A and B are shown apart, each in its own frame.
Chain A
Amino acid sequence: MTREIEKAAGIPVVQIATIVPIMLTVGANRIVPGVAIPHPVGAPDLGADGDRATRRELVLRAFRAMQTEISEQTVFER
C-alpha cells in the first residue's frame, strides 16, 4: 500500500512499523521504527504520560520524515 500510494498518487508516505527489516524488504521509502508488534505506536508499559510522550514523539518524527528529501530507503531513528 505504501508503495502504491507513492507510485499512483505521488504522495509521500511514512511507514511506522516495528520490524524494520520487513519494511526494507517490501520497499518502503520513509521508515519510522515502531515500538513493539502488539503496540507499534505506543508504550503502555511506561504509564499514561510515558505512553503519550512516546506517541507524540513518533508522530512528530513521522512528520519530519515526510518533509525530508531522500534519495534511497531511509530509516528515521530517534
Chain B
Amino acid sequence: MKLELHKITVRDVQWGTETCVREGVLYVDRQRAVDFVAEEKRFARVDLELARPGESVRIIPVKDAVEPRVKMDGKGYFPGFLAPMDRCGEGRTLVLDGAAVLTCGPIVAFQEGFVDMSGPGAVYTPFSETQNIVLVAEPVRDLEQHQYEQILREAGLRLAVHLAQACLGSPADAIETYEKGSACEENEKFPALPKVIYVCMNITQGLLHDTYLYGSDLRPALPTLLHPNEVLDGAMVSGNCVSACDKNTTWHHVHNPVVAALYARHGKELNFLGVVPTQESTVLDGKIRASKMNLTIAQQLGADGVIISEEGYGNPDTDLCLNAKNFERAGIKSVVISDEAAGTDGASQSLADATPEMTAFISTGNVNEMLVVPPMDRVIGWPESIAHLSGGAAESLRADGSMLVEMQAIIASTAEIGYNRVGCEWI
C-alpha cells in the first residue's frame, strides 16, 4: 500500500474573495464557506472566525479539530462521511499543512475544552500553532444533543474538505510517501527484526463518547487490524466529548505520532505489522472481550511487542490494564501510553486501576494540574461554558476574563497518543 501526502505549507490564514492558497497564505472566501456549512438546516446560525498563532484569542468550547485534506482524484475525504465508501491509505492526498478547522458552539456536553492562541495556556495545545478556521455554529432550538453532536462533527469535516478541495491544483511544498507491504512480505524482508503492532484504544461508550472507523461507530464493533496508511489517511474520525485534554481529535488521528514513529523505524529497528483500533466498553465483558481479541490479533501476527495508547481516563484504565496483562502473560512485551489523574497536588493514585504486569508506562502528564490563563483580547465562543467543562468550575471564570482551570480543560493537553509537550522530567 502506497500513500503520498502532498503537503502545502500554510503559514497564515486570511479572508479572501476566493478560497485558495498562495505563497503560504490560505485565503478563505468567508461567505461561500458559511453558506456551504449553513446548507445544514439544523443550524440556526453559522459563522467563521480566524485565529492565528500568537494572537490574544481564546476559543471555547472547542469540540473537534480537523486538518483540511482531500484526495487528489477529487473523491472527497473521510470515507463513509465525505468520500464514497472505499478503502483509504492509497493514492495521493492534498494536505493544507499547518491549517486546522476547529468546531465551536454552545456546549454539547461537559467534556469539551478551550484553546488559547497565546499565553501560558497556549503551550499545552497543538492548535495554538495552527492557522485556525473556527466554525462557530448554533443549533436550532430543541435539537437533541446527539443530533447536535452529529451535525457539528460532520460540519467540521465538510468545511475541512471544502477548503482543501478549493486548493486542488496548487503545487505541494513537500511530498511524503508511506509505503509498506503485507505482513507476509515485510516478514520476508526483515526476518531478524522484532515484530511490533500498535493497539490504539478509543473511547467507544455511547452518549456522545464515540469514535468512527470508515463512518461506522466503533462502539458495537470488535477490534480489527488496519494498515497504518489507513490511519494516516482519514479512516478514523472523532465523535466524542470525552475530557478535552485526552481526546484524540480527528486531526490527531491523521497525525498519530505512534504510527509515524513506528513507520520511521520500520525496516530499520523493527517490523511494524499494523494498527489495531480497539474499544473501551462500558461493560466489563466488553472490556475483557476486546482485550482478548487484541491478544489474538497480536499472536496470529506473531508480534513480539505491542504499544498501547489509551483514550480518556477512569474506567478505560481497566482496558489499559487488561491489555497490558494479556500481552505480558503471553510473553509479548507491552508499553502503555497514558495520562494520569493524580489530583491537583499530584499525590493521588494516578490510574483508577492497576496491574503488576504493566511495567512500562509512558506518562503524558497529570490532567488535574492547575493553571491560571490570563484574559484574552478576543474570545470566540461562550466563555461562561468553562463552568460546565471538565477541568473547570463555576468560579473558574474571573471578572477580568482570566480563568483558573485544570489542565484537562485544554484541548489535547495530555493527548495519550503523545502529541503534546507534557511528560515527566528526567532527573
Binding site for B on A (CB under 8 A): 18-22, 25, 33, 35-38
Q: Which secondary structure dominates chain B's binding surface?
A: loop
Contact, CB under 8 Å: A19 / B287: yes
In angstroms, Cα B318 to Cα A47, docked, is 29
In the assembled complex, B427 has its CB within 8 A of some CB on chain A: no
Q: Specify which of A20, A22, A25, A36 is in contact with B282 (CB 8 Å cutoff).
A: A36
A35, B315: Cβ atoms closer than 8 Å: no
In B279-302, the 8 Å CB interface with A consists of: 282-284, 287
A37 contacts B283, C-beta separation under 8 Å: yes
The distance from the CB of B243 to the nearest CB of chain A, in whole angstroms, is: 15
B205 near A: Cβ within 8 Å? yes
CB neighbours of B322 from chain A (8 A): 21
CB-based nearest A residue for B205: A37
Contacts of B318 in A (CB 8 A): 19, 21-22
Asked whether B284 lies within 8 Å of A18 as measured between CB atoms, the reply is: yes
Q: How many residues of B contact A (CB 8 A)?
A: 16
Query: B352 near A: Cβ within 8 Å?
Result: yes
| B207 in the interface (beta carbon within 8 A) | yes
Asked if B282 contacts A18 (CB within 8 A), the reply is: yes
B interface list, Cβ under 8 A from A: 205-207, 282-284, 287, 315, 317-318, 321-322, 352-355
Chain B nearest CB from A11 CB (Å) reads: 24
Cα–Cα distance between A21 and B315 once the two chains are bound (Å): 10
B160 to chain A, nearest CB (A): 31
Whether A21 lies near B353 (C-beta < 8 A) is yes
Candidate in A21, A25, A33, A37 with the most chain B CB atoms within 10 angstroms? A21
B354 pairs with A20, CB closer than 8 A: no
Starting from the known contacts A21-B321, A36-B282, A38-B207, 10 additional A-B residue pairs (CB-CB under 8 Å) come to A18-B284, A19-B284, A19-B318, A19-B352, A19-B353, A21-B322, A22-B317, A37-B205, A37-B283, A38-B282
A70 → chain B, closest Cβ, in Å? 21
8 A-B residue contacts at CB 8 Å?
A19-B284, A21-B318, A22-B315, A22-B317, A33-B284, A36-B283, A37-B315, A38-B282
The 7 closest A-B pairs by CB, nearest first: A37-B282, A36-B283, A36-B282, A22-B353, A19-B318, A21-B318, A25-B353
Q: How far is the CB of B94 from chain A (nearest CB, A)?
A: 40
B354 and A25 within 8 A (CB): yes
- In the assembled complex, the CB of A37 is this many whole angstroms from the nearest CB of chain B, namely 4
Smallest beta-carbon distance B338→chain A, Å:
15
Query: Do A20 and B206 contact each other (CB < 8 Å), given the known contacts A25-B353, A25-B354?
Result: no
Which B residues lie within 8 Å of A19 (CB)? 284, 287, 315, 318, 352-353
Q: How far is the CA of A25 from the CA of B354 in the complex (A)?
A: 6
* CA–CA, A19 and B205, complex, Å: 14
* Shortest distance between the CB of B400 and any CB in chain A (Å): 38
Chain B residues, Cβ within 8 Å of A18: 282-284, 315
CB distance from A7 to the nearest CB of B (A): 18
Which residue of B207, B282, B317, B322 has the most chain A CB atoms within 10 A of its CB atom? B282
Complex CA gap A37/B207 in Å reads 11
Q: CA A35 – CA B205 in complex, angstroms? A: 14
